Amino acid sequence: MILKSAKPTSHDLDAQILTVKELLADRSLAIPVYQRPYKWTGKNVNQLFNDIATHKDKSSYRLGTIVFHQEEDRKNIVDGQQRIITLLLAVRALSTLRKDKLDRKDLKEHLSLLERDMISPSFKSEISKANIYSNYLEICRIVDRSDFTEEHIDFLLNKCEVVTFALKDISEAFQFFDSQNARGRDLEPHDLLKAYHLREFSSNDEELKATTVSRWENTETKELATLFSQYLYRIRNWSKGASARYFGKEDTGLFKGVNMETVAHYPYIEQLRMVHHFVDHYNQQYERKVDGHALGFPFHLDQIIINGRRFFEMIAHYQAMVTEYNKCPTGSFQLIALDKLDGYAKNILEALNTYEGRNRTGDRYVRTIFDCLLIYYIDKFGLVEISRAIEKIFIWSFSLRLKMQVVQLASMDNHVLENNLFKLIKDAIRPGDFINCTLPVLREKRSTKTEEIESLFREMRYYE
């Protein structure tokens, strides 16, 4: 029995960088029957065209990677079907709505040739048909606007690029696809965000790229996956009143924001722009060589993301914060001096790490709510009134554990959204706006192995 190499050898792999025009002019493209339905929505379409508008002044712009299985004269699409179909729809819309109105003859010729050479795949899936129809209409609305200029069309066809890999063995093609995309793993979304924000670095920040990204590179991928999926994704979504169950590729937009070099001078951006430049200005003054002071950017968990360098700084900031939180024996920040906590706060922190059922799946879901809300509170108000905040967060989160026999992921998510204290903190001006909220008293208990939790509820008069 001959075992094939785990990685395709160089002669098995054909790698190219192609413009959109070159990619779509390839008549050998084919969508194999094993491909999943076309699921891109109007949100994905608008993101694509927003990227085109944002980066149209660049010499080139990468739209991602395409993986093919080369089968004789056919290139079966293994990865990249969603992008290719969307690009086909875009060219079809441009040919129908814009070609005859163009001033540039070269663009007319490009569209005419693509119209002749592009594949026209058929689809049996009703999901694919519905999304194709809906997205084509959305694309028509975009490209038919006067602000979608010939410069945009030229950029899309001739400067937007994809990296393509063609492999002759189908198993190697899928293996290569898995290694490139980490399909189905938690790390996939944050890897996509890394690639996105590396592209968003401003020209002035290029020399800082290596040092800025170094912490990311030195962090275990599992830690980054946990930081995003368990903390950042959930806090940002819950604070907006949105569901936050699984962090997937479709959620990466939550961590994309504004590029300080390209964003217009909208009034809402000016405060962010001032802070961004002031922090840099302060840290670059010669006095810092004497006093050694460094001003950190004042990040907030629910802030508008600043693309590029600030994104990586923000992730490093919250990675350090969460690491500090998790390494403390009591499961809380070392900044919190336990002997200075009053009320029930110290007993709460100790009980959460000792009660019998704490390691069950449902209990870990409830602990996630507690951890996320406590981190969100400290991120906004620091340690002001921290003892009372811990008490409030404990009662709110662990009431779910006591009143349910089985806690599932949906139970956790629904509990947050039904009485959303994340939104309360988001809207709060001072700690009292959060701490003074009233919570219901628990009148029945269905959980087991939670005696210490139940005892605290009784002592705090939240259980009758």
List, for residues 242-254, the tens digit of each pLDDT value: 999 999 888 999 9
Contacting residues for 36 by C-beta, under 8 A, at least 6 apart: 81
Mean pLDDT of the chain: 88
What would the mean pLDDT of 405-428 be, rounded to a whole number?
95
| Residues 188, 189, 192, 194, Cα dihedral to 10° | -110
pLDDT tier at 181, thresholds 50, 70, 90: low
What would the mean pLDDT of 201-205 be, rounded to a whole number?
80
Per-residue pLDDT at 205: 78
Q: Say whether pLDDT at 5 is over 50.
A: no
Domain residue limits, the chain:
10-181, 199-318, 333-459
What would the mean pLDDT of 194-206 be, rounded to a whole number?
82
Per-residue pLDDT at 212: 79
> What is the share, in percent, of the chain residues with pLDDT greater than 90?
65
Question: Whose structure tokens read 């063995």?
Answer: 169
Q: In sequence order, what DSSP letters do the residues of 195-257 get, joined into one string? A: HHHHHT--GGGGGGHHHHHHHHHHS-HHHHHHIIIIIIHHHHHHHTT---S---GGGGGGG--
Per-residue pLDDT at 4: 36
- The answer to which of 33-42, 67-76, 130-139, 309-318 has the lowest mean pLDDT is 33-42
Residue with the bigger pLDDT between 186 and 290: it is 290
> Biggest alpha carbon distance in the chain?
81
Question: Whose structure tokens read 């079907």?
Answer: 81
What would the mean pLDDT of 158-167 be, rounded to a whole number?
91
Q: Which of 31-35, 164-168, 312-316 has the highest mean predicted lDDT (pLDDT)?
A: 312-316
List, for residues 234-290, the tens digit of each pLDDT value: 999 999 999 999 998 889 999 999 999 889 999 999 999 999 999 999 999 999 999
pLDDT tier at 184, thresholds 50, 70, 90: very low
List, for residues 319-333, the tens digit of each pLDDT value: 999 988 876 655 455
Per-residue pLDDT at 392: 97
Question: Whose structure tokens read 């693309």?
Answer: 307
Q: What is the pTM of this model?
A: 0.67
C-beta pairs of 367-371 under 8 Å, 24+ apart in sequence: 367/397, 368/230, 368/234, 368/412, 369/396, 369/397, 369/400, 369/412, 369/415, 369/416, 370/394, 370/397, 370/398, 371/231, 371/325, 371/331
List, for residues 64-113, the tens digit of each pLDDT value: 889 888 888 899 998 889 999 999 999 999 999 999 999 999 999 999 99
399, with CB counted inside 10 A (0-12, 13-18, 19+), is buried
Per-residue pLDDT at 175: 63
Measured distance CA(356)–CA(81) in Å, rounded: 49
Q: Say whether pLDDT at 126 is over 50.
A: yes
Per-residue pLDDT at 9: 46
Per-residue pLDDT at 1: 29
Residues 264, 270, 272, CA angle at the centre, nearest 5°?
A: 110
